[in-house]
Amino acid sequence: MVADLGSLVGCESPSSDLTAVARGADVVAELGCRLTGAAPERLILDGCTHLRWSFGEGDRVLLLGHQDTVWPIGSLADHPWRVQDGVAYGPGCFDMKAGLVQLFHALASLSSLDGVTVLITGDEELGAPTSRRLIEEESRRVAAALVLEGSADGGALKTSRNGIAQYELRVHGRAAHAGLEPWNGVNASVELAHQILALTALDGGSAGGATVTPTVVAGGTTMNTVPAEASVRVDVRVPTGAEARRVDTAIHALAPRLPGARLEVMSGPSHPPLEAAASAELYRLAEELAAAHGMPPLGGAHVGGASDGNIAAGVGTPTLDGLGAVGGGAHAPGEHVRVAEMPLRAALLADLVVRLQKERSVQR
């Protein structure tokens, strides 16, 4: 497993480099073919390469992962692959190439792969712009989705995740000479200031509520001109669908304060929240199987970031995330994986797949 992880980490695959993602897909395809005996379908969508394995009849379980990373080409020079004192280091090892190694080794241990679909995407770190529809389609076909993202702190499973929504609020005013006749203008920057305060008032104000964060602000053209245009981008994180709807409704209902100003709301990429109810039964099953292996309780955690698991849960499919590597430091120097945990997590995944192959249904 460590050798396989070294091969994956050694093939740098930043999301923004489609050629590199295609090379990374080749390495993952070789790994999957060697361990399962089957070659994947290569699905190239808008130039981005995704891999899919479909085994047998009667879709039961989707194993979901990605092989793209946030690390640019050349990162290995500064953060080389190495294993030291039982810990593996290297760009993308935790997020989430070790999870892919565990996935295929788990499948290699099974006597039957009937009803299993594996989907490995190449654009998760960008928010799944090309793979979103593919993930939704595959998730609708199965009884459960298991996501091989790295675990939460201490190896906990990710039983819920915030949803993400992105907006841009554009203000249209009217230009005028700032010295000669500013009263003939409608200052878009002043209007934007009012709207930024209104946006921050939508924040849930606690760890359990939505966060509404104005980020990138732009406005005006020259020093002596009343700004005719201004804008702000807004990052929204929501723990529940109800919070997502509340914030979305409120943003679209914003009204201008200055006479003559006009507002325009542009909705950007979004991920639905992975709510605890979507993972509850799968989490219970995982804890039961972990105990049978003599493992301590896994624990469940709510995390702020989104993954492809949000998309799977968003179509109503029971989804459990964080089944991948135990480690930490995702997206940062020192990203690492605890090697001794890899076969244990692979065995847990294998048991989950076997149980889901046998289960008639998982409560939605």
Triad 353, 355, 358: Cα angle to 5°: 110
Cα–Cα distance for residue pair 202/232, rounded to 1 Å: 15
- Show the 3-state SS of 149-169: CCCCHHHCEEEEECEEEEEEE
Query: Which residues have CB under 8 Å from 152's CB, separation 6+?
Result: 158, 299, 301, 303, 322
Query: What's the DSSP call for residue 66?
Result: E
Lookup result for tokens 């190439």: 97
Which residues are tagged catalytic?
68, 124
> Which residue carries 């460590």 as its tokens?
2
Are 157 and 298 in contact by the 8 Å Cβ rule? The answer is: yes
Strands (E), the chain: 41-45, 48-55, 61-66, 82-84, 87-89, 116-121, 144-147, 157-161, 163-172, 211-219, 229-238, 262-271, 300-303, 319-320, 327-328, 336-338
CA distance 7 to 27: 8
Residue pair 43/63 in contact (Cβ under 8 Å)? The answer is no
Strands 48-55 and 61-66: unpaired
